[in-house]
Chain A
Amino acid sequence: MSTKAILLGNEAIARGVIEAGCEVAAGYPGTPSSEIIPAIAKWADELGTRTVVEWGANEKVAFEMAAAASFAGKRSCAVMKQVGLNVAADPFMSVAHFQLKGGFLLISADDPGPHSSQTEQDSRFFAMFAKIPCFDPSTAVEAKEMVFDAFDLSERHNVIVMLRPSVRVDHCRQDVELKDVIDISRPASFEKDPKRWVCLPSSVKVNHPQLNAKREAVREEFETKFAKYNFEVPAKGKAKLGIIAAGVSFSIVTDILKSWGVDNVSILKIGTPHPLPLKMVEDFISRHEDVLILEETYPVIEMQLNDRTGVKGRWNGWVPGAGELLPEVIEEILCKVTGRKAPEGASPKLKKAMEELNITPRRPMLCPGCPHRASFFAIRQTLPKAIYPSDIGCYTLGVNQGMVDSVVDMGASITQASGLYMAYKVDGIEQPIVASIGDSTFFHMGLPGLASAVYNKHVFVLAILDNNLTAMTGGQSNPGIGDKLRDGDTGRKVDIEGAVKGCGVKWVKTTGAYDIAGSRALVKEAWEHARTHEEPTVIIFRHPCMLLKEKQAVVPVMVDPEKCIGCKFCINYFNCPGLVFDEKLKKAYIDERFCVKCGVCINVCPHGAILGTEGEEA
């Protein structure tokens, strides 16, 4: 069977994973990788495979689950975003040395730009660091194809193989061919062999040279046997300029040259950036007067060259050292390299129109009706002088409400609260601190920080914003919810309050996020308890995420223009897309395009100008 379908890049990758006979898959959500794991489950259901596919509580957990399944001989894969690999770096570096059994694919999705990440780091560097092979797809079609070769390569060399799709591959939509599942029936069989599976220093003495040898063997294959990913697009006639291009940059550069009608440039496409097929690349360089390297986002190909002094790339500033290589950026580089006239930039007329019409890019905001907004409002109203370390999730957008003072990475709300407490403790100063963390993030990396804070008697309030969803990444399940991915597969919900108590927290209470008065009372009590008992306290704010579309009371509201004094308190402290300010009239009003009638803002206006309209006389 072979049919075509238009798939998201991530759905295509997932389809490849299932078609390649992968039987164990684990991941943790993170843009731009989030759709892969659910799509693996969807294809497995549709095609009736036995694949076990699950979310782990974090990337390290997911990576280790998938790795051990490979120890037992199963084809397995671990899926995460680039910063997720930071979390999984410890097992990744260790397992790279192992003589694996079942094929083990690591999918680490990069986010040049970045669009939805705290860094734009390049996972290919991690592959180089760990000395393992890496595939860098240019399109969704190629990414799916690479999955097969990655499993095959992994099994032949008993090594982890990385697939590094970037956001434009993950979130591209393309017509993709669907095939059948290859049958590789293979019972799980873990063979006890401490030399192989226990990472003792003595094994490293054997494994490290072996890893080096694997890398060189793979490099040799990449030189000669992977012409479908590493190939030259020759110029018509003799080319002066040669471009080495990888990933989406290859797709972009070919489209641009085609639209220009330029055919005197040759392109070397590299789909396996590590280990780099050096002979092939150096031969290409030697045949061209001028060579440009386009790759995202770090100079990984460039840095593997024995001599890069003759090429134009990041090291000499021809290619920008940060940011996504958008078509417009690549076009500009090509113009500079070829001496072509650069396209004119932004039109002054359009700029003027935008100024006159007062148009600026829309910043992301919490959704109308989002429970986090109400929780933040209640906290800030109660402890306005507190420091608010926060975390990664939709609630990071609480920065618009002045409720997010510092964010580092997942779980760091709690540990920053600890560190801030320690800093002020040195000076003998009592500083209120309220940390905020989401339910998924709490299970991801909140628990160790909380146990540490209880142990060390750190004084702060922790707000767990439980919206019953991993929302920022599109709405996945997590241990606090308990749903699983495959049809008929059920999980078990881990009780957040129980987990908090299990970490040793004595004072933990729950409030409805929409209940601003009740929440305020609890915040006050929590802080009083924390400072008088010298221990962290926890409030769980509960209300389902708006993405879940659960039924709730409909409370239409209006702003009474008579009572509104134009102080913008509601805008600055509540910051809802449905509640906006009319700069001409100097009054707030309800923008019915966005208002979802949650009614929470009725409690916000200090002048009582926001009113429920239910039952009001027309």
Chain B
Amino acid sequence: MQYVIVGIGGQGILFSSRVLGHIALSKGERVVGSEVHGMAQRGGSVISHFKVGDYNSPMVKAKEADVLLAFDQNEAVRNLHFLKQGGQVVVNTHEASFVDNPSLKSWLGERDAKLRTILGYDILKKHMGGRFLFLNVLILGAMCGAGVGSVSIDEVREAVRTLAPARFVEDNIRAVDLGYEGTR
């Protein structure tokens, strides 16, 4: 299973791959992935590769990702080339209308790719006082809700419980659940 996780520096995408890693390890699976640290973390485009299974290289090659998780819709579109035939995309959106773009629709059709959106900012504004730093777990919940990827919502909850700082565990779980409900 190969994941590509994309977003904007500062959105906390690294935590999402840590959660996926924690789950894989607890199932005794082999894991390798690649992260972005440094300059790009200052608000630039960031990307994280994550592979579960018998791989050596930490990077996903174009057209091989099973799942693209995007914290930002623009970054989603910029990284669609990673998606394999029949791959799936889960996108946090701020302007849902982008999915109506005909070229995009036709490309997704050709690739037999499914794209699910979640209005993460609106949801966090409404339910969690606009604390957007919970996007990273909300999107994992959304992934499970959409039935995408190789992990279950219970596994995500459990991993988040273990990995999140004690003070924020409950908030994190709430965000996971909001994401889950949002795409179910």
Hey, which bits of chain A sit against chain B, CB under 8 A?
4-6, 8, 31-32, 34-35, 115-116, 138-139, 168, 171-175, 248, 250-252, 254-256, 259, 326-328, 331, 343, 346-347, 349-350, 352-354, 356-357, 359, 361-367, 394, 397, 472-474, 577, 592-594
| Given A116-B39, A354-B78, CB of A328 within 8 Å of CB of B61 | yes
| Given A328-B61, A357-B98, A593-B121, CB of A31 within 8 Å of CB of B74 | no
Q: Does B10 contact A (CB under 8 A)?
A: yes
Q: Is the CB of A173 within 8 A of B50?
A: yes
Q: Is the CB of B94 within 8 A of A350?
A: no
Min CB–CB distance B103 → chain A (angstroms): 4
Among B37, B45, B61, B80, chain A packs the most CB atoms within 10 A around the CB of B37
Contact of B36 among A171, A175, A255, A354 (CB under 8 A): A171
| Given A8-B35, A172-B34, A366-B42, CB of A251 within 8 Å of CB of B57 | yes
Residues of B contacting A139 in the complex (Cβ-Cβ under 8 angstroms)? 32, 56, 58
Using an 8 Å CB-CB cutoff, how does the interface string of B1-19 with A read, 1 for contact, 0 for none? Answer: 0000000111000000110
Contact of A359 among B25, B77, B107 (CB under 8 A): B77
Q: Does B64 contact A (CB under 8 A)?
A: yes
B:49-66 near A, CB below 8 Å: 50, 55-64
Contact of B62 among A175, A254, A328 (CB under 8 A): A328
Q: What is the bound-complex CA distance between A316 and B34, given in angstroms?
A: 31
Q: Does B40 contact A (CB under 8 A)?
A: yes
Residues of A contacting B184 in the complex (Cβ-Cβ under 8 angstroms)? none
Q: Is the CB of B42 within 8 A of A367?
A: yes
Q: What is the bound-complex CA distance between A174 and B33, given in angstroms?
A: 7
Q: Is the CB of A116 within 8 A of B44?
A: no
Q: Is the CB of B106 within 8 A of A349?
A: yes
Contact of B43 among A116, A256, A354, A577 (CB under 8 A): A577
Contact of B34 among A173, A256, A365 (CB under 8 A): A173
Residues of A contacting B44 in the complex (Cβ-Cβ under 8 angstroms)? 361-365
Contact of B74 among A250, A252, A357, A397 (CB under 8 A): A357
Residues of A contacting B36 in the complex (Cβ-Cβ under 8 angstroms)? 115, 171
Among A254, A359, A592, chain B packs the most CB atoms within 10 A around the CB of A359
Q: Is the CB of B33 within 8 A of A115?
A: no
Q: Is the CB of A35 within 8 A of B78?
A: no
The residue on A at minimum CB distance from B109 is A349
Q: Is the CB of A472 within 8 A of B32?
A: no
Q: Is the CB of A171 within 8 A of B77?
A: no
| Given A173-B58, A175-B25, A354-B78, CB of A115 within 8 Å of CB of B107 | no
Residues of A contacting B80 in the complex (Cβ-Cβ under 8 angstroms)? 350
Residues of B contacting A349 in the complex (Cβ-Cβ under 8 angstroms)? 103-104, 106-107, 110
Among A175, A259, A349, chain B packs the most CB atoms within 10 A around the CB of A349
Min CB–CB distance A549 → chain B (angstroms): 11
Min CB–CB distance B129 → chain A (angstroms): 12
Q: What is the bound-complex CA distance between A474 and B9, given in angstroms?
A: 12
Q: Is the CB of A173 within 8 A of B10?
A: no
Q: Is the CB of A173 within 8 A of B17?
A: yes
Q: What is the bound-complex CA distance between A306 and B80, given in angstroms?
A: 45
Q: What is the bound-complex CA distance between A592 and B132, given in angstroms?
A: 10
